[in-house]
Amino acid sequence: MMAQLTCQNLCVGYDGKSVLQDLNFEVFAGDYLCIVGENGSGKSTLMKTILGLQTPISGSILTGDGLRKNEIGYLPQQTQVQKDFPASVREIVLSGCQGRCGSRSFYSKEEKQLAADAMEKMQITPLAKRCYRTLSGGQQQRVLLARALCATRKMLFLDEPVSGLDPKVTAEMYALIQKLNYEDGITVVMISHDLSAALQYASHILHIGDTLFFGTKAAYLNEFPQAWQKGGEVK
């Protein structure tokens, strides 16, 4: 079986300064990988590098099993500017299809259906005509997840998707992501500062920082038995 994503001897950083080196891991179809580690350990930098938004300092990033780099759906951390974006929910979700359009300036019938299906999955169809900036934080994250779904049938990259959400909305968001992984077979790669949630949902853990670890959740708990009790960061 071929991996969808392989990172070999990867070194990432910015301005030529490395924040992470000698990184080796593979992600297979249907995996749910959580990337955990201290703030500033390079989690977001790693994700942006894999997506091609930053250049790796050295090493290689390979896609396989029919996955192309432009077929990875991406939900980045939100900025204040994005939260105030003056567009309708439907327009934002549809914009996730732009990678499919090429030089076309309009959306096809198939793409409009794709956006409608994504909104249905995220349970935001009644909000389609609402202005994005009038929505709650949880609703906005669902819109962005629907947008990411328009770009992929195979793999989602989620950077702290529950950041700033209250516990009830956080639980709903995790349930939606789990459903995409379980029922739709979409591979999930998620950055999380919440180790207890990572241990609840993930099949694999990539821990970066002072300690570097990649493996199954069971192997992680075997190596860091204190992680489950603490539900916090492993230093």
User: Is residue 128 a part of any domain in this protein?
Assistant: yes
Give the C-alpha separation, 39 to 193, whole Å: 8
CATH number of the domain that 46 lies in?
3.40.50.300
Residues 161 and 63 in one domain: yes
Residue-number span of the structural domain to which 125 is assigned: 88-152
Q: Which of 209, 89, 207, 210 is nearest to 227 (CA)?
A: 207
Domain boundary among 152, 169, 200: 152
User: Is residue 178 a part of any domain in this protein?
Assistant: yes
Residues 101 and 145 in one domain: yes
Residues 193 and 227 in one domain: yes
Residues 208 and 92 in one domain: no
pTM of the model: 0.91
Q: Which of 114, 17, 110, 37 is nearest to 73 (CA)?
A: 114
Domain boundary among 152, 181, 204: 152
What band does 183 get if pLDDT is binned at 50, 70 and 90?
A: very high
Domain boundary among 113, 128, 152: 152
Q: Return the higher-pLDDT residue of 201 and 84.
A: 201
What does pLDDT average to over the chain? Answer: 89
Residues 114 and 171 in one domain: no
Give every strand in the sheet of 32-37, ordered side by side: 72-75, 155-159, 187-191, 32-37, 204-208, 213-216
Q: Return the higher-pLDDT residue of 103 and 182.
A: 182
Q: Which of 73, 66, 9, 17 is nearest to 47 (CA)?
A: 73
Residues 116 and 139 in one domain: yes
User: Is residue 73 a part of any domain in this protein?
Assistant: no
Residues 36 and 146 in one domain: no
Q: Which of 166, 190, 184, 192 is nearest to 122 (CA)?
A: 184
Q: Return the higher-pLDDT residue of 107 and 124.
A: 124
Residues 158 and 226 in one domain: yes
What percent of the chain is predicted at pLDDT more than 90?
66
Q: Return the higher-pLDDT residue of 211 and 130.
A: 130
Residues 42 and 97 in one domain: no
The pLDDT value recorded for residue 180 is 95
DSSP E strand boundaries for 15-83:
17-27, 32-37, 58-63, 72-75
Number of separate domains in the chain? 2
User: Is residue 46 a part of any domain in this protein?
Assistant: yes
| pLDDT tens per residue across span 131-167 | 999 999 999 999 999 999 998 889 999 999 998 899 9
User: Is residue 83 a part of any domain in this protein?
Assistant: no
Give the C-alpha separation, 19 to 106, whole Å: 41
Residues 138 and 201 in one domain: no
